[in-house]
Amino acid sequence: MKPDRYFFQASQFQQWLDSLLKSGYLCIGPQFRDGTIIYDDLHSVTQLPQGMTDQQAPGSYSLTNTHSNRFFDWANGPQAVKPFLFAARESLWSSQQSDQGGISFQETRPDICPTLIIGARACDVAAIKIQDQHFLQQEFVDPYYKARRDNLVVVAVNCSHPADTCFCYSTGDGPFVHEGADAVLTELDQGFIIEASTQQGKRLLEGMPLEKVTEEQLNQADLIRVKASNQQRKLPDYDIRARLFNELNNDAWHEIAMRCLSCGNCTMVCPTCFCHSENDVSELDGKSATHYRQWDSCFTQGHSYIHGITIRSEISQRYRQWLTHKFSTWHEQYGRSGCVGCGRCITWCPVGIDVTESVAHFQERRHV
């Protein structure tokens, strides 16, 4: 579908948000919280992190206020769109024992309303597509994910300010959005170019005071794209997929594991990771219980516990699992790598382990 492309003034942003809220959407947008930028309910553009920009490095994140009038001049914080589709913890069913001793089970389904997320970046839009493959296109469709996905509208923002930890250009997922969003904003000094490429996206524009995009505005957008594509961090240029799988017994896994705390931060912030565990919580009445699903990580010992054996008892084995799945066997499952280059696992690793360096390590070692 050919995108509809217009311009609207920044001064009309609140008017647009009001119309989206009036249409019944639960609007979610980026906001400053706890020293970072996260997504939460959005009612006013004053909640957006206007004027803020970030500095990111391995194991390091900070924000400063530049007092610019830009709303989106920052790179992703720790939170992706993932929690709005694949809940960090939710109940799947509850069970109840009757007075006669029989047990009944009841499926629990979350209350979902039409939700519109504003501000998702290209890497996170690409991650949604990957998670769609996992949760929706296999033999067993996940009804919890599907209910949220069917009700989600994505208004993405082309990235003007990738962090030093970003490498979406080298994975081919950013910094500008290729596909997967309903509408995409490019922020300029005076306002936004908006491109709507789905029917839902086009409906979002109804009633908006839109202007024709000028050649000058398109040139400005292109300059932003070129500048944001100039990312220093990149994946090494070798066949990562094949090489990693041939290096399962390499000593490098132990060297990386000497630093890795096995904390699982990298998997919690990763927009494509989908590992989870399930457990039952009994009520004090001794008759009812709730079955929960929550995010888990391949860095926990419990995640590889099967029939009395922990398969990956060493940190080196768990790091190897993370890297070889993300960059190698993921291709067999989903036809591409599981990394969209968002850089979160680098910034939010407490010891600053850099996934691009880890991958490059195997290339270098090959040549010594």
Residues near ligand SF4, by CB under 6 A? 260-266, 269-272, 299, 326, 339-345, 349-351, 353, 355
Q: What is the 3-state secondary structure (H, E, C) of 177-212?
A: CCCCCCEEEEECCCEEEEEECCHHHHHHCCCCCCEC
Query: Edge-to-edge strand order for the sheet containing 103-107?
Result: 103-107, 89-97, 288-295, 276-282
Q: Which residues, listed in sequence order, are joined to residue 192 by a DSSP beta bridge? A: 8, 187
Query: Is 353:341 a contact under the CB 8 Å cutoff?
Result: no
Please give the Cα distance from 164 to 13 (Å, whole number).
29
Query: CB of 277: closest distance to ligand SF4 in angstroms?
Result: 16
Q: Minimal CA–CA distance to 61: which of 157, 171, 166?
A: 166
Q: Which residues, listed in sequence order, are joined to residue 187 by a DSSP beta bridge? A: 192
| 70 vs 344 by CB, closer to ligand SF4 | 344
Query: Is 141:135 a contact under the CB 8 Å cutoff?
Result: yes
| 49 vs 58 by CB, closer to ligand SF4 | 58
What's the Cα-to-Cα distance from 351 to each of 15, 58, 133, 166, rounded to whole Å?
44, 8, 32, 17
| 79 vs 160 by CB, closer to ligand SF4 | 79
Query: CB of 297: closest distance to ligand SF4 in angstroms?
Result: 7
| 226 vs 351 by CB, closer to ligand SF4 | 351
Query: CB of 129: closest distance to ligand SF4 in angstroms?
Result: 12
Q: Tokens for 156? A: 């993405």
89 CA to centre of own chain? 16
Q: Minimal CA–CA distance to 109: which of 138, 146, 136, 82?
A: 146
| 72 vs 319 by CB, closer to ligand SF4 | 319
| 10 vs 263 by CB, closer to ligand SF4 | 263
